[in-house]
Structure 1
Amino acid sequence: MITFNYETNFILDDEVSVEKWIHQTITNHNCELGEVNYIFCNDDYLHKLNVEFLNHDTLTDIISFDNSLGKLINGDIYISVERVADNAKDFKVSFKEELHRVMIHGVLHYIGFKDKTEKEQLEMTNQENLALSLIK
């Protein structure tokens, strides 16, 4: 089950198709959907979580808490829509594309993809692009 929660005025367009896309991405990697919760918030909300839980005093676009068990994908994904909007401008892409990239990025971490090294970052970007090609 995928749920979308809102701690800001933002509302996701077409929740049903986004949910199907995320579920498809999970099953394409031979994993099973458990419970994934998306929480859309603002910079202040996410910054507070970043300081409290990760001891990082910085702004970020996403924080994900992975509760997956093997191939059963579970977790909470917090997304700052303000950061996504700023990043979309910086990367010269639409807000929707950047939002989808961030949303699937969290799920790809749960599936097992990392992004600490340059090689891992390249693979993560490839996986994001593959997933994005399925929703466009």
Structure 2
Amino acid sequence: MAISIQNHQKKAKIDLRRLRRALKKLLLHVDCADSDISLLLTDDDEITGINERYLGRNYPTNVISFSFLEGEYSGINPGLLGDVVISVETALRDAEKGGIPLEDELDFLLIHGLLHILGYDHEHPDPDRTQEMQKKEQELFFLLHGYPLDL
């Protein structure tokens, strides 16, 4: 298992070892212990650029994920899961608005991005698929924290 974490932001001090431990625990739980994944922590300007370049959106989002398990070249290296990109700047605003610690917000976004990589979809027309993703988010958050995520 290779976990690459890059921190390109200066909006908040982030415990990268804690995030690495959380991601490792999540990968073990979803049967991806032998897989590789990368995490990029960034700010709103950089995630806006990524959104614009790859998704045609000219605004920041809290998380973007890129799955290497889908598409034309998905079979080249099945051990590569994909990339998760989190705007810490947006996460800070969301955590403050929700009255939760930044660490909880970051863990939720990490879980959310990982589940997208694994094929979960909360925007699917089938409400059962949305509910399935939300249930898995709750399960994984509880795994990390021992208390439920208050959505």
TM-score by length of structure 1 reads: 0.85
Q: Which amino acid aligns with 1:86?
A: R
Of Structure 1 and Structure 2, the greater strand share is in 1
Q: Secondary structure at the match of 1:78?
A: strand
Q: Per-residue deviation at 1:135? A: 1.6
Residues 1:135 and 2:141 are matched in the alignment: no
Indicate the structure (1 or 2) with the bigger Cα radius of gyration.
2
- Please provide the CA RMSD for this pair: 2.1
Q: Within 1, Cα distance between the matches of 2:103 and 2:113? A: 16
Unaligned runs of 5+ in 1: none
Q: Per-residue deviation at 1:32? A: 4.3
Of Structure 1 and Structure 2, the greater helix share is in 1
Q: Is the 8 Å Cα contact of residues 36 and 81 (structure 2) preserved in structure 1? A: yes
Q: Is the 8 Å Cα contact of residues 33 and 74 (structure 1) preserved in structure 2? A: no
Aligned residues: 135
Q: How is 1:102-121 mapped onto 2 (pairs within 5 angstroms)?
A: 102-117=109-124, 118-121=127-130
Q: How is 1:8-87 mapped onto 2 (pairs within 5 angstroms)?
A: 8-9=9-10, 10-13=12-15, 15=17, 17-68=18-69, 69=74, 72-87=79-94
Q: Is the 8 Å Cα contact of residues 43 and 82 (structure 1) preserved in structure 2? A: yes
Q: Secondary structure at the match of 1:88?
A: helix
Q: Per-residue deviation at 1:77? A: 1.2
Unaligned runs of 5+ in 2: 146-151
Q: Which residue of 1 aligns with 2:149?
A: none
Q: Is the 8 Å Cα contact of residues 26 and 111 (structure 1) preserved in structure 2? A: no
Q: Per-residue deviation at 1:73? A: 4.9
Identical columns (%): 23
Q: Is the 8 Å Cα contact of residues 6 and 41 (structure 1) preserved in structure 2? A: yes
